A and B are shown apart, each in its own frame.
Chain A
Amino acid sequence: MIRGWLADHDWRLALLSTGLAGLAFVTGQPVLASPLGESYQGITVGLLAMLCSCVGFALSLRSRAAAALGVRSGARYRLLWFVIQLLLVVAVAESVSGFALAPRRLVFVIGWGAGLSGLLALVSEGGSTLYGFLLFATCVLSPRGEPARWWAPLAHAPVGDAGVVAAAIVVLACGVLYVANPTRRAPF
């Protein structure tokens, strides 16, 4: 399993995201570039860390390691794999926010960021790639000085419960689909 993980793409993304998260924790949130201009949100180290982490999570569910678990191991190991990958995303999200992320925002970020891209990865790799791009797009599409909208999950602070509950359901659905219905298709 470890060899499978190391032989695949996702460990590099996981390593990159944790490195970036550490950097974001130490340096704060310096803006690296403003793709849409100065009046829109820029790309920060923390945002890059979250994007890498979410995409890495999606890839990890389709990695050779995950495929090996699907063929040889029981559901318990797949659940363990899923939880470890999810915890990695949680750790990145927490470090990016200086370990001060509100629980509902954490669930929202994990659900609509990692959960949905993971779910899409299990169903269609093209859909997952596209969603990764859209995640990036939604982050930089928020005007500077205004709170991020609901469609920018990595930056949005939810007020109501509906989006948070739906995000939790997405994560659960992703977990159930992965654990109960292991993929035997060729990995990425």
Chain B
Amino acid sequence: MRAQLRGRLVWLVTGLMLAAMATTLSLRDADWMGDALWGQETIGVAQVLVLPLLAGGAAVVGWRDVGGILTLIPAGRQRWRHFWATFGAWAIPVVALYAVGNLFVIVASWWSEPSIPNATPWPAITQTAGALLVFVVGYALGVVLRSWLGSVVAALLTAAVLILDRMGAISTGLAEYAASGTMLGAVANPAYFGMRLVWMVFVGALIVALLVTVPRRRTGLLVALGAALVAGQLTFPTDDSYGIRPKRADTCTATPVVVCAPPEFRDRAVRAAEMAGQTGAVLRALGVSSPSRFVMWQPGRDHLDNLRLVDPGTFRAPLTLQTVVAGVVAPLSCGLWSGPEPPPYSWFYSKALVESFVMSQLTARITEPYGRLLTAKGAEQSRALVTQAATALQECDLAKVPPSFSNQ
């Protein structure tokens, strides 16, 4: 094992794997930071780049071995010992790579604001197991193909399997969930992760057994391998890695406007309550009442009056006045927002108009589309139209939208 660790290939491949992982994590200004589970699943995104590279490297090792030391040990215990040493030499940096990657996203998220403690060991375990399985598959392809071409075949095969798995064309259990947005409210499903882990260990063990046994004993193993691949196809047709279950009880801010959110978002909830209070005051000046109780947006809460205290696409983006205003002027408990048919354009225009009116009042800067309406209709008529639109939005009544908005 020490001799293998002194070789250049293992460090070249794992170095490139680290570079691919680091690049994937750094894209879009590391928008996962603060949401550790999203960071862990961003490592899963890098699988399509990292694993073909590992498979290619493993195939080169297999190709070298089959033309070298394996000619001296055709089968049996020595072959097993040699494979184990090779596997161990590659497993050390690969396991370290995934451990460091996962620890990095957890620590980086810990120091970020906001930060949610949603990290779980499951993605790290299955990512590592997937990488080790890919090493075994790549090594086996190198042994079977007995050529440098094995590295290309192994890399292409791994990439194709992962791409097709993510597209849903096949299901192998190898591809990770690979989140592209916040994992707020998501809880790992241990049964699903556990099944994937067992499947990967089983398939890997069968391939290793095929490599170390004599040809006459391989038929049964090949049948078992085929059965395992079919079982994978049947067991993992849908990705059930996560479920939506809010883990922590909300804490609420004090009146007049109450915003309830998990404790990690307490500061944002307080600021949002203040902004919602200012928005409510502007609406009250128009003679329109607005809700006085909101919850923080989380998956599964779309039908409640909620405020987006975090951007689901950029977790650590600062809370903006506009986001809060948008949540207050158009309460999301209104069924029109979540109905089977989208509301007409005039409904969206009403929201944009009231939002821009409130923003103009709060920031002392005229914003669109209120500015255009003000120019076209004058102050008094514009105010009347904004009041009608605000009433329609608060009462969730499409009939109260000014008829002239249909032509906007």
A binding-site residues for B, Cβ under 8 Å = 33-40, 125-126, 129-130, 133-134, 136-137, 140-141, 143, 146, 151
Contact = CB atoms under 8 A, between A and B. Distances in A.
Which one of B48, B166, B180 has the highest number of Cβ atoms from chain A below 10 Å of its Cβ?
Answer: B48
A36 B175 CA distance: 11
Contacts of A35: 48, 159, 162-163, 166
A125 B166 contact: no
B52 interface: yes
Contact of B24 (A125, A126, A129, A141): A141
B48 A36 contact: yes
Contacts, number: 51
Contact of A33 (B60, B151, B155, B167): B167
B166 A37 contact: yes
Interface of B: 16, 20, 23-24, 27-28, 45-46, 48-49, 52-53, 56, 60, 148, 151-152, 155, 159, 162-163, 166-167, 178, 180-181
Nearest to A32: B163
A137 B27 contact: no
B180 A37 contact: yes
A123 to B, nearest CB: 15
A36 B23 contact: no
Given A33-B163, A129-B152, A137 B20 contact: yes
Contacts of A37: 45, 166, 178, 180
Nearest to B155: A133
Given A33-B167, A36-B178, A38-B180, A140 B48 contact: yes
B217 to A, nearest CB: 34
Contacts of B45: 36-37, 40
Contact of B27 (A34, A133, A141): A141
A134 B19 CA distance: 11
Contacts of B28: 143, 146
The 5 closest A-B pairs by CB, nearest first: A39-B180, A35-B48, A137-B49, A35-B163, A37-B180
Given A140-B48, A141-B20, 8 more contacts: A35-B163, A37-B166, A37-B178, A39-B180, A129-B148, A137-B20, A140-B49, A143-B28
A33 B159 CA distance: 11
Contacts of B23: 141, 151
Contacts of B163: 33, 35
A33 B162 CA distance: 11
Contacts of B24: 36, 141
A13 to B, nearest CB: 12
Nearest to B57: A130
10 contacts: A35-B48, A37-B166, A38-B180, A129-B148, A129-B151, A130-B16, A133-B52, A133-B155, A137-B53, A141-B23
A128 to B, nearest CB: 11
Contacts of B48: 35-36, 140
B64 to A, nearest CB: 12
A134 B27 CA distance: 17
Nearest to A188: B148
Contacts of A36: 24, 45-46, 48-49, 178
A141 B178 contact: no
Contacts of A39: 180-181
Nearest to B50: A137
A40 B28 CA distance: 11
A143 B49 contact: no
Contacts of B155: 133
A9 to B, nearest CB: 10
